[in-house]
A and B are shown apart, each in its own frame.
Chain A
């Protein structure tokens, strides 16, 4: 492998990895507030990719398109919470209650997949590039050649990650999230509107899915069932990073993307297998991720 190839692989890996990071963050944020992950988050991403592709092809300016996609996704996110998450809290502790969210969010995602299939059909689409003039605009820098699109995607994703970090750890809302995450009853006694915090967390999850969908569109093929792979990878990333630490998720996300890029380069037939194998082995070795989370449940 030439070093120029290596740089290109790194950039491609980081670009995809930053999208997995965004997916991971989305999973984390709803996990913090409701101990539930949106298993349909990949389908949220898919809807965002389709929507932004359609809008861009129709000639809508990028900014407007982004705003529309984000708005639609937020409605979906809040709707998901209202429809598939909140009612579960009132369900009596039956045999299914602790896992019901996996099935309801997955069900919601299937509805989205079907909708996309009906609206856009079953074919694969190529989304127009967001930032570069033509499909595969190549930039040369210090002898290395890479796609401009990928570089910008990576940078933008990092900006979103930074904003989220600030939101969670520097802003008041973040403190409320931490309180709700620790104990809902106590949080509400402290005057925190738990419902609002929960709904907001689902809205943020949706925004993250919207951003990742918009950014992923030009890097991959868009089709109704594309969400599965993204949720799988985002899920792997958040598990490796650990369910407490946004920095862990960032490291895991970029790492996953880079490993994937290298693995695909080395072995095109089974390349997409190895990142998952590595993730699996990693989880066996460190079951609660890079920075850990586990508590013993002695009462």
Chain B
């Protein structure tokens, strides 16, 4: 059974306090669970979305004081203070998350550091509320009214919470949520073009990490019945980071393992207080320099040597037969009509004075292959970036399927069926080929229903995987499904990106130099695939330098030069246009 481990864990949690030789071990296990809850959230934030927080102790403090103050000074029951705790830290996380949208790595480190520091000062000096470093005394303990067995009850509560958090974490790691976060971490513009609302995800992840820290703080407050502001300094934030890093950044069980290791280390070094900074500073250095994948990575390296079956580059995909109906991806069939599917009107884009695209108007008819050509610097890539929404045009309008999308965010355009590939491939290096393709399948339930469904069945994930496999088979690279993109030769990576674009079920596909760097056999293969897509009703907009490829494949060709449109028409017409020849094609040998 798939969830056997959760059952085992639940049983272990139930039994542990009963068989534990003395309360000391129960107490250690409590500590580990409290740390692990916070570490899991930090791991999602840092390991998956790549956002560093040096202020987790601030969220922890909010959770601890929120519940601690209400229950101690105002007599609230703990079941009522818990939601308040979580809400408090969630709100703070949301605010920091919003800041995170506008800042990046080192600025974000600064913002979170300052946040943590501000909370620390407030808890130290706002003595009337927090008790300062003397502490909030007489905080009710979480013992369900049974003081004698309080430690056991507390352990059960905190461990159950940990199990729940771990189960949610596992769902994130194994579903589109985790994949999307990987994508956001590696390239935000790429994430947008597969339809991921990167901004929303990034700030939500902050809320998630803040809530787990708040939950951790809640338990912390009710563990010993005493909360002092000394507990919420920078060292607490660092300790959480250390737990995540020792365990293995980005891995599902790293934070849990790291928390256990940290608590054990704390015990072992309790007598070595004089050199504790040596120990923890040394751990940071040694782990980051020699074991960047942490304990989980080290264990994996011992037991499972990843056999990456790397195909040689001579292993070119065989020229595939025309797609049969069984292997063809299901494409959105655009209704044939005379109205253009994409219409640009007088679009202009300049970069600090340099006009890259100047008043370009363009009509792409549905079901056609439309090429945009022109010399380097003609504005082709800018045009694609403007259409896909990564750049905002200075003036002009863009209409897609009759709708004005000029001001629409890139991820919304992607969700309308505007799909693209990149001139410099965009594949997520930390995900396998199949997972990269699955990134294109941005569908499925929202988090809580998805999680509940996942607990009973992984049909959703299997369906996505089957779909990805089907697409890879279409490109004859099914056997590479479990390789990492970095291990693939260039041609296969291009195919992988195409498969991902198809997974997005495009109405319209932009291909930015699809055959640049490919050999002739591969190029012919791509040409056949593009024809197959056209037959399915997908409209293709193509930027490419290879003229024979463009002329053979396109229905319409638009020629740009210095950002202006200088010619347009059927390939045969454009080829003879003297203006075009002068600007770009040159004499016969072109």
Contacts and interface: CB of A to CB of B under 8 A. Distances in A.
A232 B106 CA distance: 12
A297 B423 CA distance: 14
Interface string A188-232: 000000000000000000000000000000000000000010001
A20 interface: no
A107 B189 contact: no
A235 to B, nearest CB: 5
A160 interface: no
Interface in B525-570: none
Contacts of B289: 84, 87-88, 104
Given A99-B50, A111-B277, A235-B110, A287 B103 contact: yes
B103 A283 contact: yes
B115 to A, nearest CB: 7
Interface in B229-259: 234, 238, 241, 245, 249-250
Interface in B275-330: 275-278, 280-285, 288-289, 292-293
Contacts of B391: 296, 298
A95 B114 contact: no
Q: Which of B47, B107, B250, B275 has most A Cβ within 10 Å?
A: B107
A287 B103 CA distance: 5
A273 B111 CA distance: 14
B277 A113 contact: yes
Contacts of A103: 241, 245, 284, 288
Interface string B82-108: 000000000000000011001111110
Interface stretch (A123-131, A137-145, A274-282): A274-282
B424 interface: yes
B55 to A, nearest CB: 11
A132 interface: no
B285 A83 contact: yes
B102 A287 contact: yes
Contacts of A299: 187, 189, 422-424, 426
B187 A111 contact: no
A110 B423 CA distance: 45
Contacts of A87: 289
Contacts of B187: 297, 299
Contacts of B47: 95-96
Q: Which of A95, A228, A294 has most B Cβ within 10 Å?
A: A95
A283 B188 CA distance: 21
Contact of B292 (A96, A107, A117, A236): A96
A288 interface: yes
B111 A110 contact: no
Interface in A82-124: 83-84, 87-88, 91, 93-100, 102-104, 106-111, 113-114, 117-118
A284 interface: yes
B46 to A, nearest CB: 7
A105 to B, nearest CB: 9
A37 interface: yes
B16 interface: no
Nearest to A279: B114
B281 A276 contact: no
A287 B50 contact: no
Given A99-B105, A298-B391, A232 B114 contact: yes
Interface in B111-139: 111, 113-115, 117-118, 121-122, 125
A269 interface: yes
B578 interface: no
A99 B113 contact: no
Contacts of B122: 273
Contacts of B249: 94-96
A288 B107 contact: yes
Contact of B107 (A88, A95, A100, A283): A283
Contacts of A228: 234
A94 B476 CA distance: 29
Nearest to B127: A269
B385 interface: yes
A173 interface: no
A280 B54 CA distance: 14
7 contacts: A94-B430, A96-B47, A102-B54, A107-B282, A111-B282, A283-B103, A287-B102
